[in-house]
Amino acid sequence: MPAKRPPVPLSRERIIEAALHIADTQGLRRLTMRRLGDALQVEAMAVYHHLPRGKEALMDALAEHVTAVHVEPGGSWQDGARAWCRASRAALREHPGVLALALTKPPKGRGAIALREQTDQLAEAGLPDAAGAVRALRAYVFGAVAVEVQRSGWAEPAGEDGEPWLPPSRGGGSPDADADFELGLTALLTGLAAR
């Protein structure tokens, strides 16, 4: 006979993981404290012990999770910028259910830190206006992913009534979306170099 209490205790990580799964799978509007509790085999109120500000804290944590991207420093600033943009795109695409939060919530916590880190790395690699560049790169990635995810048909009725959604394709994007992204990214880097 199984124990009534969850075998592994609750944690911030497990809560976020479960929340991401619900959002990606059923949509943000169906991510509910009670449903989240169910998924974790716990009463909804247990979540408040790990995320004291409740649902608002959960939303912040989700945006942070998908937005706090790091890459190794080496190489030219172009290499660094390219790697960071690719990684950011991948992170956002992986969790379309919380894209609205990522595009909309101002960076906080680990997300804000990652931003400063990337700015420093680009400056270190010799780029003059690193802050402006990070702004432009972020805007590029945001726009590209927003259009990609819109076109992927995510966020639509999901068939008749809440049946789960299949990710657009395994391990990356459709080849033309990838090519578009790389093309625009190269153009943007050229533009930034000419500033």
Partner DNA sequence: ACCTGAACACCGTTCAAGT
* Residues of this chain that bind a second copy (CB under 8 A): 99-101, 103-107, 132, 135-136, 138-144, 146-147, 149-151, 153, 155-156, 180, 184, 187-188, 191
In the list DNA, a second copy, none, the entry touching 45 (Cβ below 5 to 8 angstroms by class) is: DNA
Phi, psi of 107 (to 5 degrees): -60, 135
When asked if residue 21 is in the footprint of DNA (CB under 7 A), the reply is: no
Contact 65, 20 (CB under 8 A): yes
Q: Does the footprint of DNA cover residue 147 (CB under 7 A)?
A: no
* Piece of 2-10, 73-81, 86-94, 137-145 that binds DNA (CB under 7 A): 2-10
Query: DSSP H helical segments within 51-108, as ranges?
Result: 55-67, 77-94, 99-104
Q: Which two tokens stand for residue 114?
A: 């990652």
- Name the residue type at position 136: A
User: Is residue 27 involved in binding DNA (CB under 7 A)?
Assistant: no
Q: Is the CB of residue 44 less than 8 Å from the CB of residue 97?
A: no
The nearer residue to a second copy, 11 or 169, going by C-beta atoms, is 169
- CB nearer to DNA: give 55 or 86: 55
What distance in Å separates the CA atoms of residue 193 and residue 118, rounded to the nearest whole number?
Answer: 17
> Is the Cβ–Cβ distance between 31 and 22 less than 8 Å?
yes
Binding flag, residue 12, DNA (CB under 7 A): no
Binding site for DNA (CB under 7 A): 5-6, 9-10, 30-35, 37, 42-46, 48-50, 54-56
